[in-house]
A and B are shown apart, each in its own frame.
Chain A
Amino acid sequence: MTALASIRNLTVTYRRDGAEVAALKNVGFDITAGERFAIIGESGSGKSTLALAIAGLLPATARIEGRIDWLLRPPPMFDAKAPPSVLPDISPSEGEIGSSAAGSFPPASVIGEGRDESAISPLEGEMSGRTEGGATGRQPASLRDHAPIGGRDIGFIFQDPSASLDPVMPIGKQIAEVAYTHLGLSWRDAYAKAKTLLERVRLPDPDAALCAFPHQLSGGQKQRVAIAAAIAAGPKLLIADEATSALDTIVQAEIVGLIRRLVAEDGMTLLFISHDIALAAELAERIAVFRHGELLELGSTAQIVNAPRHAYTRVLLDAHLGLDAEPLLRT
């Protein structure tokens, strides 16, 4: 079992109406490479803050303490001819450990420490400029070359595809620009990849869809496009934050099936964030239960569902109204 990321003592504080509100309190756990990991919780549990923190997408006003250490291989040199979708290779059995330079694990990157922008050395400034200057997010400057890059190393699927897709850009371009930006493909190759991705997410008539605009698609189709864009650069980690919550039950089941298939095919690690413990349980191998910014319980799906240790997990399980639940209505 190899960790992809190790989260330690992560605390995220927002300022709201002059008061400090801790959205995450001293959270720590590991994400194992290749696993399907679910984060569940209700409103205010901190689950979306956690997703944003892992993706490096927290707003600049958030105060971040603690560490997120990544055990990623260093990013490949930017090469216009680089093959797309290089799968992550972090298995120790491949003999990478012990070899030097590009094959070894990079030093851990740390979020929230040493964020002294004035300390950028000329070399580091050059490095960050040579990679993705605009896409580095809120990583410490001195560690940009090792920290994961949103869009390339981490794909993110949000709840509302209408908000994550540009309404006035053809969807083919929205997918192709991810491949163009992060994989260094030519536009022609990037469009060819976009078409392949539309086929992989099972959008009907991919050729026509390349030129379609988001408003011409249904909610489920838009989410398929958002997923295609999220996986276009071959990320190691796919984060789905309530990605099916706005969809009806049938479309939700289709999208969950799609995510499961793509994660398996590409060897991605999945972080599935949901308020729905039953949905999470059907998809994930491990579940972490959050409430009020705290990690209450973490275990295998079977343990969480059948032998929860925390009373709140029991509350969530009991509140689930499955088709096999005892009806509330007594006639």
Chain B
Amino acid sequence: MTDPLLAVSGLTKRYSRSGKIIAAVDDVSFHIEPGETLALAGPSGSGKSTIARLVLRLIEADTGRIEFEGSDFLSLNGAALRGRRARLQMVFQDPLAALNPRATVARVLDDPLRIHHIASGPERPRRIAALLERVGLSSGLAGRAIHEISGGQRQRVAIARAIATKPSLVVLDEAVSALDVSVRAQILQLLLDLQREERIAYLFISHDLGVVRAIAHRVTILEAGRIAESGDARSVIDAPQSVIGKALVAAAPRLSRIERDVS
């Protein structure tokens, strides 16, 4: 058996709020295989976004260990950390907040190619056009400003930027939650296509069990910073064992509850 792509063990992050210590993430362990989607689900305040930030090292853990591509990710610093970050990318909920609204699409995609020395200056416009095509956008969009394009197009640009550095893992923090349902379906399909063709693994954070069940291999359900249950996404969601898992499933709106009687 090969080593997992990402192995998180005993991850803990505490905050002090008005004198009280609150564990936002409390002794959490999980792993992700190459090309696999692990979903983190749970209600507001369950710690799922904090875990995303810890894995990305946007914030530092109090205790715990993160192994990424076989090395101790938490011990990396400086140039070594920056170099490894090319392999670990992120897409957030609101692309207008994540991307400079006045930058052009080309500029947004040029940055990672330049910073990570992926393509030389003369080569970059061709690479940018290829990335846009890869995420289903016209290369004619390159000269447009981020604020001029639609929300769905912006999220595609954010995905193009994330895959520009050829990552092995992309953290998706509520990445489809703000999209219209028809656009959301297209973005989810794009993520699945990219995963199949480039063997990218996803850490997929969502409060929406319907979306999780549709695209994740496995799910970990969190409550108050702790893991409530984990397993195959369909098995867990179809028959949750934990109290919070049952509550999440019961709360999801379901069209099948609408009576068939058309009168």
Contacts and interface: CB of A to CB of B under 8 A. Distances in A.
B263 A319 contact: no
B211 interface: yes
A191 to B, nearest CB: 28
Contacts, number: 118
Contact of B217 (A249, A251, A321, A331): A331
Nearest to B185: A319
Contact of B209 (A249, A277, A302, A328): A249
Given A219-B44, A249-B43, A301-B258, A275 B211 contact: no
Interface centre among B181, B257, B259, by most chain A C-beta atoms within 10 angstroms, is: B181
A322 B182 contact: no
Contacts of B180: 42-43, 275
B249 to A, nearest CB: 6
Interface in A147-190: none
A316 B182 contact: yes
A94 interface: no
Contact of B43 (A43, A248, A327): A248
Contact of A250 (B238, B248, B261): B248
A52 B214 CA distance: 35
A304 B218 CA distance: 34
A328 B262 contact: no
A317 B258 CA distance: 12
A278 B255 CA distance: 5
Given A277-B255, A322-B254, A322-B255, A249 B248 contact: yes
B254 to A, nearest CB: 5
Interface string A309-321: 0000001110111
Interface string A274-286: 0111110110000
B229 interface: no
Contacts of A276: 181, 253
A275 B181 contact: yes
A306 B260 CA distance: 6
Contacts of B261: 302
A85 to B, nearest CB: 30
Interface residues of B, number: 44
B129 interface: no
A310 B101 CA distance: 36
B134 interface: no
Contacts of A203: none
A317 B185 CA distance: 12
A327 B215 contact: yes
Main secondary structure of the interface of B (DSSP, over half): helix
A277 B184 CA distance: 14
Contacts of A248: 43-44, 207
B125 interface: no
Contact of B247 (A43, A250, A316): A250
B210 interface: yes
Given A251-B43, A320-B181, A306 B251 contact: no
Contact of A252 (B185, B233, B251, B255): B251
A306 B263 CA distance: 11
Nearest to B182: A319
B253 A250 contact: no
B126 to A, nearest CB: 31
B51 to A, nearest CB: 16
B119 interface: no
B258 A281 contact: yes
Nearest to A328: B214
Given A281-B255, A322-B210, A329 B43 contact: no
B237 interface: yes
B151 interface: yes
A321 B211 CA distance: 6
Contacts of A19: none
Given A307-B262, A324-B254, A324-B256, A329 B37 contact: yes
B88 interface: no
A246 B213 CA distance: 21
A300 B189 CA distance: 32
A317 B209 CA distance: 17
B208 interface: yes
A282 B258 contact: yes
Nearest to B180: A42
A253 B251 contact: yes
Contacts of A325: 210, 213-214
A305 interface: yes
Nearest to B253: A278
Contacts of B151: 43
9 A-B pairs with the lowest CB-CB distances in the bound complex, closest first: A253-B251, A278-B253, A321-B210, A42-B180, A319-B181, A279-B253, A248-B44, A305-B258, A249-B251
Given A251-B43, A325-B213, 12 more contacts: A249-B248, A249-B252, A253-B251, A253-B253, A254-B251, A277-B255, A302-B260, A302-B261, A321-B208, A321-B213, A324-B256, A329-B217
8 contacts: A42-B180, A249-B43, A276-B181, A321-B185, A321-B208, A324-B255, A328-B192, A329-B214
